[in-house]
A and B are shown apart, each in its own frame.
Chain A
Amino acid sequence: MTERDEVIAETAATDVFAAFEGDLPAAKRWWSPRDLGRQYLPALIAFLLVILTWEALTRLLAVETFVLPKPSEVMASFFETASVIWAAGMRTLLEAVGGFTIGVTLAVITSLAAARWVGFREGMLPFAIAANATPIVALAPIFNNWFSITSPVSKMAVVAVVVYFPVMINTTRGLLEVEPAELELMRSLAATPAEVTRRVRVPRALPFFFASLKVASALSLIAAIVAEYFGGPQDVLGQYIINRANLFQFPDAWAAILVASILGIVFYLLILGAERVLMPWHVSLRASD
């Protein structure tokens, strides 16, 4: 055995790293039925308790239907009017998703520009933050006027503006919040600014981007329905809710609200799913134990 072989043999013999393999933390399988059950069972029980209490109290205290309908009445209406409210829901969803897509696309473009050019960022961000704090849905009557009240485009415009600011501000923050050590590493590799954006800034920004998309998904349905309240075609959720409420058909109004909630939750879950597919490395997916 040469001296060098001895060195190598010794290194191999004392290599404690190999022993770690079995103990490595595993990636959590977020889709595992057992985990889902364990995670969401308490919430499910709480939900059922609220519904049962609601039903019991409205019966016990003889609450009038126009004040607060019983869950059973809402459910009856939900199934009776299913074809109408789901059709209305789909039209509203189209406005929400259309506006969401436009708003998010513009926000991402702005964010990339803001991360790239300091002057642009410093000139624009204060206004964006101010705009984000103003109640943008108040613009709905004006947008109805600009884009024709009968067209879904006027509602999409409101949604797009509402969605734009939180997504743009958060994504910009993510693109800028990069570890100095990572920038130094990229400098040592003589990487171009475009390389740094692509390989470090964008992956770093993804958690911020998805967090803002989750907020934006809820905002988009709210904005679409509120924009509908300001007028337009009658076959959408916002107008349906107003009309049924005006006719004192409150269980119908509640059933439509239920449709809106279901759509909002599904939209949110789709984004959550996209996040987990696109960011398998994310901290929240690591086994906690």
Chain B
Amino acid sequence: MTIPVVEARGLGKTFGSGTEQTEALRGIDLVISSGDFVSLIGPSGCGKSTLLRLIGDLVSPSTGTLAVNGKTAEQARVDRDYGIVFQSATLLDWRTVEKNVALPLEIMGFGDEERSNRSRAMLDLVQLGMFKDHYPWQLSGGMQQRVSIARALAFEPSLLLMDEPFGALDEMTRELMQQEVLRLWDETGTSVVFVTHSIPEAVFLSTRVVVMSPRPGRISEEITVELPRLRNQDTREDARYFQLITEVREALRRGETGAGS
């Protein structure tokens, strides 16, 4: 039995103190195995981003235990076990596309040649090789986000964390990007935790959809997506795909009413 990429037990997070306290997450049990593509879905305020940020050690848990690759989340961050893609591409304006992708490699102390080889290979992987000398502002939103994905994957992390990465994109671009992420997931063999509030997106991408409900944020259901590993535009017209979308939607509704009672 291999060590799970993420293992959370009774994980909880409370922000603030005294009367200002907000309980963002309560009693999260979640296991993500190597190679999984797990989407966290739920209404706003359900703590799905907070859960992702706990895994990335951008915030610390208040209760429970969390292991990433069998280590503490902090150790995993220090070991650069994960790459992260935020909702905004967060590219550094003063760096060219190639230099942006090379940023993690610079910080990790890779040599000049290896750096440029790797960042060029990553840019080819996201099909932006010919834009390597452009500045971020010269690219469209979708292209910027692809650069940020290339940056997150540049050092071959075992885990990719994506926080609503396509939220700001139009529907057409979004569908292309989803296809692209699936291809990268397949080619790199990385595990993915993907936060979204789009039901079709979660179903199209994931091997497993984790449905969350708010006040306090918790996992209400988990749905295994029984679709072929490789998906394409035909998948979006598959009857099974629609069935799964309905299942997730109903799980979300059950979560909502459950929260009210």
Q: Cβ of A16 and Cβ of B233 under 8 Å apart?
A: no
Provide a sorted-by-A list of 17 A–B residue pairs whose CB atoms are within 8 angstroms: A4-B230, A7-B182, A7-B183, A8-B183, A15-B127, A16-B176, A21-B131, A25-B137, A27-B138, A179-B90, A181-B88, A185-B86, A188-B82, A189-B80, A195-B107, A203-B93, A279-B94
Contact of A16 among B108, B135, B172, B231 (CB under 8 A): B172
- Chain A interface residue count, CB cutoff 8 Å, equals 38
In whole angstroms, how far apart are the Cα atoms of A279 and B173 in the complex?
31
Q: Cβ of B103 and Cβ of A189 under 8 Å apart?
A: yes
The reply to whether the CB of A24 lies closer than 8 angstroms to some CB of chain B is: yes
Q: Cβ of B138 and Cβ of A10 under 8 Å apart?
A: no
Q: Cβ of A182 and Cβ of B92 under 8 Å apart?
A: yes
Interface residues in chain A, defined as those with a beta carbon under 8 Å from any beta carbon in chain B: 3-4, 6-8, 10-12, 14-18, 20-21, 24-27, 179, 181-182, 184-191, 195, 199-200, 203, 206, 279, 281, 286
Q: Cβ of A20 and Cβ of B90 under 8 Å apart?
A: no
Interface residues in chain B, defined as those with a beta carbon under 8 Å from any beta carbon in chain A: 56, 58, 77-80, 82-84, 86, 88, 90, 92-95, 103-104, 106-108, 127-128, 130-131, 134-135, 137-140, 142-143, 146, 172-173, 176, 179-180, 182-183, 186, 228, 230-233
In whole angstroms, how far apart are the Cα atoms of A15 and B138 in the complex?
18
- Smallest CB separation, B261 vs chain A (Å): 36
Query: Binding site of A, secondary structure by majority: helix, strand, loop or mixed?
Result: helix
Knowing A24-B139, A25-B138, the reply to whether A188 touches B84 (Cβ < 8 A) is yes
Q: Cβ of A11 and Cβ of B176 under 8 Å apart?
A: yes
Q: Cβ of B92 and Cβ of A199 under 8 Å apart?
A: yes
Q: Cβ of A10 and Cβ of B103 under 8 Å apart?
A: no
Q: Cβ of B176 and Cβ of A14 under 8 Å apart?
A: yes
Q: Cβ of A7 and Cβ of B92 under 8 Å apart?
A: no
Known: A24-B134, A185-B86, A188-B56. 16 other contacts (CB 8 A): A6-B232, A11-B179, A14-B176, A14-B179, A17-B146, A24-B139, A25-B137, A27-B135, A179-B90, A182-B90, A189-B104, A190-B77, A199-B107, A203-B93, A279-B94, A281-B94
Q: Cβ of A21 and Cβ of B77 under 8 Å apart?
A: no
Q: Cβ of A7 and Cβ of B179 under 8 Å apart?
A: yes
Q: Cβ of A4 and Cβ of B90 under 8 Å apart?
A: no
Knowing A187-B58, A188-B84, A190-B80, the reply to whether A20 touches B183 (Cβ < 8 A) is no
Tell me which residues across on chain B come within 8 A of A24, comparing CB atoms: 134, 138-139
Q: Cβ of A281 and Cβ of B86 under 8 Å apart?
A: no
Tell me which residues across on chain B come within 8 A of A7, comparing CB atoms: 179, 182-183, 230-232
